[in-house]
Amino acid sequence: MTKRVGIEVSAAVAEAVKLVDVDVVSAYPITPQTHIVERLAELIANGEFDAEYINVESEHSALSACVGASATGARTFTATNSQGLALMHEILYVASGCRLPIVLAITNRAVSAPINIWCDHQDSLGERDTGCIQLYVEDGQEAFDSTLQAFRVAEDQRVLVPFMVCLDGFILSHVIESVDLLDEGEIKSFIKSKMEPKYRLDPDRPFSMGVLGGPDIYYEFRRQQEEAMRNAKKVILEADEEFSKLFGRRYGLFDSYRIEDADVILLTMGSMTGTARVAVDRLRERGKRVGVLKVRVFRPFPYEEINAAVKGAKVLAAVDRNIEPGAYGGVLFTELRSALYGCEEKPHVIGFIAGLGGRDVSVSDFTTMAEKTLRVSETGKVERAYEFIGLRE
């Protein structure tokens, strides 16, 4: 039976991991991720679910242990962020290349130097080409539901790649929210009780996995990963549709708010989306036709779907909680321009960078961004392709 509780979002993620009956949890503590794996360690120690908890000496080892466990057919989970995720970089390619459906919770945190433990999206977006699905959540309910969906999608035979559920560090990970938790009986109709891998390491049927691949085969393996990521969009939508029928909540590849007649659309990722909606409502009261589109699934990027959704808008503004030094703006900005390249009636695209290192992105900031975007809509001229918002003088 569904039970609504006030719960820390990190604990809600841990409850979702328990609910899908994970076999192996392997993790190394790093702020602000630690509450997730601490809660899992507590649940396992109390006998509330049967899983192996592996204490390791680094994040590199944490994901390596998940690789080994997943290769034998175990359902596996880990969590990390920032420098810890960077230390996993090598093994993310291994996990994806071996087609292992490991689920990772990423509590987004800025990457040093200087050392910063607060939220931005530099860490996970820096891993966007590793062949892992990346999904960014807005609130605790979405974090809980998306963790459940992640196992369903990653383990689908058409996909079989690692899945990152990204939630903003501290802003989400350490807050208590109202979350509708499900129980084992409810979730059994949505996710298989155990993994059913097509290939797994088995001493009775020995074979090798992830060994040398020369020029004669490596190319084809990488192409298969690309096909898996393309398949993932369809599988994500299928899982989301079934989840909606069972539990009444649907998320999609992205979420739109008041964009149907909007002249300008702000594109966001993560927890700042709610703040953007407040700004849009206030601007609508002043007669300004502004909307918000929250990008939920970043990898695979929904190029065609976003292209169709924003038709009719005059200007799009990507709000990035990251920066690509030397690459002319933020990651969402460059992805958005790529999505619209070649369209006959494409809108202007501008970019804003905000909230790096945990700096607050306020309603006032979003109002400023919207007003700047509206001026481009009115004049048809882009004076600055991207700019920084909330930067100290």
Average pLDDT of the segment spanning 180-187: 92
Task: Please choose, from the candidates 100, 88, 101, the residue with its C-alpha nearest in 3D space to the C-alpha of residue 59.
Answer: 88
The band of 1, judged by pLDDT with boundaries at 50, 70 and 90, is low
Identify the three-state secondary structure at position 80: strand
pLDDT over 90 (residue 135): yes
The CA distances from residue 128 to 2, 122, 166, 299, 300, in Å, are 34, 10, 12, 7, 9
The band of 138, judged by pLDDT with boundaries at 50, 70 and 90, is very high
Q: Work out the number of other CB atoms within 10 angstroms of the CB of residue 106.
A: 28
Q: Work out the number of other CB atoms within 10 angstroms of the CB of residue 192.
A: 13
Query: How does the average pLDDT of the chain come out, rounded?
Result: 96
β-bridge partners, 165: 105, 135
Average pLDDT of the segment spanning 302-326: 95
Burial of residue 336 (CB within 10 Å: 0-12, 13-18, 19+) is: buried
- CA atoms lying within 13 Å on the CB side of residue 147: 32
- Per DSSP, helices labelled H in the chain are 9-19, 34-45, 59-71, 82-87, 89-97, 122-125, 140-154, 184-187, 218-247, 273-285, 303-309, 331-340, 363-379
Q: Which of 47-61, 314-328, 331-345 has the lowest mean pLDDT?
A: 331-345
pLDDT over 80 (residue 343): no
pLDDT over 90 (residue 46): yes
Task: For residue 73, give both structure tokens.
Answer: 């057919």
Task: Please choose, from the candidates 175, 205, 141, 100, the residue with its C-alpha nearest in 3D space to the C-alpha of residue 4.
Answer: 141
Residues 6+ apart with CB under 8 A from 295: 136, 254, 267, 268, 269, 302, 306, 332
How is residue 302 annotated by DSSP?
Answer: -
Burial readout 123-158 (b: 16 or more C-beta within 10 A, e: otherwise): bbbbbbebbbbbbbbbbbbbbbbbbbbbbbbbbbee
**pLDDT (tens digit per residue) in 77-131:** 999 999 999 999 999 999 999 999 999 999 999 999 999 999 999 999 999 999 9
Largest pairwise CA distance in the chain: 70
The CA distances from residue 225 to 39, 70, 125, 150, 304, in Å, are 33, 17, 18, 17, 20
Ramachandran bin of 177, using left for φ above 0, alpha for ψ from -120 to 50, beta for the remaining angles: beta
* Residue 348: φ, ψ to 5°: -65, 150
**pLDDT (tens digit per residue) in 349-386:** 999 999 999 999 999 999 999 999 999 999 999 989 99
pLDDT over 70 (residue 237): yes
Cα angle, residue 69 at apex, residues 63 and 70 outer, rounded to 5° = 85
pLDDT over 80 (residue 344): no
Query: What's the pLDDT at 280?
Result: 98
Give the rounded percent of residues in the chain with a pLDDT score beyond 70: 100
Residues 6+ apart with CB under 8 A from 72: 200, 201, 202
Q: What pTM does this model have? A: 0.97
Average pLDDT of the segment spanning 147-151: 98
β-bridge partners, 78: 104
Tell me the one-letter amino acid at 261: D
> Is the distance from CB of 76 to CB of 23 less than 8 angstroms?
yes
The band of 199, judged by pLDDT with boundaries at 50, 70 and 90, is confident
Measured CA to CA, the distance from residue 281 to residue 223 in angstroms comes to: 44
**pLDDT (tens digit per residue) in 6-21:** 999 999 999 999 999 9
